[in-house]
Amino acid sequence: QICLSLVKLLFYLAHSPLGSIVLLDFQPRQFVMVDGNLKVTDMDDASTEELSCKEDNDCTLDFPMKSFLLKCSAVGKCEGINEKKNLFNAYRYFFTYLLPHSAPPALQPFLSDILNATGDLRYGINETLKAFENVLYLYKSGLYLQKRPLLLKDYMPVKGFRVLEGGDYKCWPSYSYLGCLLSVHSAEEAAAVCNSQSQCQSFIITQQRTWTGRPLASFQSSLTTLIPDANAVVYIKRSSSSGERL
């Protein structure tokens, strides 16, 4: 969410009515999340000036440990230097820390492609935004789940009950520090997650939703506390001893 919002912001800066705007003091402290959107807190160090040049060798974009040689345009300006400076700083300060392992395994190769392409400046802001929106579409639609074995049949649904959340085993990246609360597309994906965790014996799909509209599933290692809830369903692993007793 943070990276996508940042890319949308950089897309606007690259195509602003004032021209391409570069953030000269590009640091994480310069940004804040407001209602799920990343915003710049200080525009004092923003500039629309683009580096003048006579030849390509005048258009070197230097960063610690890495440099890029850009093209000198016919009008004597380094092509896209403001946009590329913003994008590489986004890679340095945000993408490298937030993108790895921040999506289901099937989507991680797409994020790795974005990471590598922006790290080498092979992508401009237009291509980067398009790539992020493609990942978001796959994530929200559940298309990345195709060609997976169906595992929900290995779970017994018990309607009218839920499990007391919290105080059970913990997992990463959980939405709750008290237990294992993860975003899933469906009960089928939740079954796959439960199968991948040795502690998991049951799960419920909660009424909570993430910013993408996906539900949160709570995973449990035991069924010590079942609470009546007409709107809930507990999915119990059929091979578990608790499921057999039930």
The predicted-structure confidence for 103-140, as pLDDT tens digits, reads as follows 888 899 999 999 999 999 999 999 999 999 999 999 99
Which residues are catalytically annotated?
25
Domains of the chain, CATH where assigned: 1-144 (1.10.510), 152-237 (3.50.4.10)
pLDDT of residue 165: 64
Sign of CA dihedral 132, 136, 142, 145: positive
Contact by Cβ (8 Å): 61, 81 = yes
Rounded Cα distance, 99 and 85, in Å = 19
Q: Tell me which DSSP letter residue 73 carries.
A: P
Between helix 2-14 and helix 81-90 the angle, nearest 10°, is 170
pLDDT of residue 167: 58
pLDDT of residue 242: 47
Three-class SS state of 218: strand
pLDDT of residue 244: 45
Contact by Cβ (8 Å): 6, 38 = yes
Low-confidence ranges of the chain (pLDDT < 50): 241-246
Rounded Cα distance, 98 and 25, in Å = 20
Please give the distance of CA 118 from its chain centroid, rounded to a whole number. 16
Q: Which residue has the tokens 């009515």?
A: 17
Q: How many helices (H) and strands (E) does the chain have?
A: 7, 11
Task: Write down the pTM of the prediction.
Answer: 0.85
